[in-house]
Amino acid sequence: MAEEKLDLSELHHDAQKASELSSYYSHFDTKVEDFDLHVYFNFRHKIKGGDGKYRYEYRVAKIDDTTVLKESIKDNVITKTLNDLSSGGVAVSDIKQLSDRASTISFLEDAKSYKDEQMSFLTGIIFDKGFGGDGDIPVVNFEKFDKISKVDSIVFVLRKGDKCITIYKKQYPIQNLTKQKNHYFSYSKDTLSKIDADMISIDGKASIVFVKGTAYIYDQDVFEKFFGYKKWIKKVAGEFVSEMKQKFSSIVDFGKVTDRLEKESADADAFSRKLARIYNNKDLRASFNTVTPEKISDFLVENEYFARLLKYKSAEEPLEVSTHDQQEAFILIVSEGVLRSLITGFDYLSPAAKRKIATGQTAQKPSSVVTRIPSSASDAA
């Protein structure tokens, strides 16, 4: 999380949700002796013939002394979040806004209704049976039948009176240490001694926190990759490209854009996220609906920078959007990414007018780029 104060308005900060989270967390910002901790290991097993699907099961993890783990969870989740919220160092926003992931805790309301196999498994326990009633739940036993390599995640449950916080922490193979594949040694003075045991690395950080019916997402990478959200992002991004094809096919060939979107790469994921963020924003959608091929052509006549980048020649000839820079530029043009100063006539990249991109010549015509949303368009969104 960022430590400096953020411009929360740019991150779609939900002050009410932030207040709710802060209020609930404050009950656990106390001595660790004042709350209970239950720990569970969540195992993932691939279903044979299940077309890549998995089944999940959880077991009680008995820990002889939870004090250190409690302190870690309190420091890394409870206290840090409270400090970040009070200092303005983190935003709390709806997951659909796809705000800056490094500076945002995203929330998913009514998490139980979210359609995903693993989320259904977790919420079915959290909101129906409830973690914490351990009488009928098997205990982890790596000696007999449980495989440490199958530990997919760890669930921490904090309880204080009638208050409960459930923390899901994604576990990675590098944290599950098996004696069959590795040799481990402890060090005492000048001697190494072999440790003949499986080991697991546990930290008190959070991937997702469940409070009442809401999931607060601390690690959006985990949510996208392991809870199916990446598919939703790709779907929305694809819808945006399809709509651009319908509106602007007379001036743009979107073949390269589609190719980029469909790749399995970090760039494709980031590009999909950018498109989905625009398409899912009500104001930007309303603005996008007012842009026409004619307005784009008028804008390019006045702005040499974009005209040169997109190889604009005339309204009758197609624009070039083969490279990533060209694609990014076109997206900026149709999504209020370029604003024009009424004072100087210069064009700037939004939201902050920090980078002048015009050639230095004042525009001779009225601005052809939408710089504000007509009330009728906003109401229709």
Tell me the pLDDT tens digit for each residue of 109-128.
989 888 888 888 888 777 65
Residue 161, Ramachandran bin (φ over 0: left; ψ between -120 and 50: alpha; else beta) = left
pLDDT for res 364: 43
Residue 143: pLDDT above 80? no
Residue 372 in domain: no
Inside any domain, residue 255: yes
Does 243 share its domain with 214? Answer: no
Q: Which of 372, 352, 299 is nearest to 329 (CA)?
A: 299
Q: 280: which 2 tokens?
A: 């899912």
User: Does 194 lie in the same domain as 264?
Assistant: no
Residue 287 belongs to a domain? yes
**Residue percentage of the chain with pLDDT more than 70:** 83
Mean pLDDT in residue range 174-184: 75
Euclidean distance between CA atoms 222 and 199, whole angstroms: 23
The residue among 168, 196, 226 that closes a domain is: 226
Q: How confident is the model at residue 129 (pLDDT cuts 50, 70, 90)?
A: low
- pLDDT band at 97; cut points 50, 70, 90: confident
**pLDDT at residue 137, as a whole number:** 78
Instruction: Write down the pTM of the prediction.
Output: 0.78
- Residue range 259-307, pLDDT digits in tens: 999 999 999 999 999 999 889 888 888 889 999 999 999 989 988 888 9
- Could you tell me if residue 169 is inside a domain? yes
Expressed as residue numbers, the domain containing 32 is 11-226
Residue range 11-25: average pLDDT? 91
Does any domain span residue 70?
A: yes
8 A C-beta contact, residue 172 and residue 219: no
Domain-terminating residue out of 226, 246, 275: 226
The total of structural domains in the chain comes to 2
Contact (CB, 8 A) for 274 and 332: no
Rounded Cα distance, 27 and 160, in Å: 8
CA–CA separation, 349 and 356 (whole Å) = 7
Q: Which residues contact 45 (CB under 8 A, 6 or more apart)?
A: 54, 55, 56, 57, 150
| Dist CA 326 CA 345 (whole Å) | 23
Residues 217 and 299 in one domain: no
When comparing pLDDT for 342 and 381, which is higher? 342
Question: What is the C-alpha separation between 302 and 304, in angstroms, rounded?
Answer: 6
Higher pLDDT, 252 or 56: 252
Q: Answer yes or no: do 288 and 216 share one domain.
A: no
CA angle 301, 303, 304 (to 5 degrees): 95
> Does 149 have pLDDT greater than 50?
yes
pLDDT surpassing 50 at residue 367: no
Co-location of 91 and 195 in the same domain: yes
Between the alpha carbon of residue 179 and those of residues 17, 145, 197, the distances in Å are 45, 15, 6
Identify the helix (H) or strand (E) that includes residue 94. Answer: strand 91-94
Query: In terms of domains, do 203 and 340 share one?
Result: no
Asked if residue 276 lies in contact with residue 98, where contact means CB atoms within 8 angstroms, the answer is yes
Between CA 179 and CA 344 the distance in angstroms is 69
Q: Is 90 exceeded by the pLDDT of residue 52? A: no
Q: What pLDDT score does 132 carry? A: 54
The number of CA neighbours under 13 Å toward the Cβ of 57 is: 11
Check whether residue 107 and residue 198 sit in a common domain. yes
Do 102 and 1 meet the contact criterion of CB atoms below 8 Å apart? yes
Does the pLDDT of residue 152 top 50, yes or no? yes
Residue 343 has pLDDT above 90, yes or no: no
Mean pLDDT value of segment 223-247: 93
Two structure tokens written together for 156 = 């921490």
133 and 245 co-located in one domain: no
Residue 146 confidence (pLDDT): 73
Domain boundary residue, one of 226, 254, 280:
226
Which range (55-59, 95-99, 135-139) has the least confidence?
Answer: 135-139
In a shared domain, residues 140 and 236: no
Q: Is the pLDDT of residue 357 over 60?
A: no
Cα distances (Å, whole numbers) of residue 201 to 82, 140, 155: 26, 15, 14
Q: In whole numbers, what is the pLDDT of the chain averaged over residues? A: 82
Tell whether the model's pLDDT for residue 56 goes beyond 80: yes
State the Cα–Cα distance between residues 297 and 30, nearest whole angstrom. Answer: 62
Q: What is the pLDDT of residue 179?
A: 73
Residue 207 in any domain: the answer is yes
Distance CA 238, CA 122 (A): 29
Does residue 182 sit in the same domain as residue 153? yes
N-to-C CA span, the chain: 33
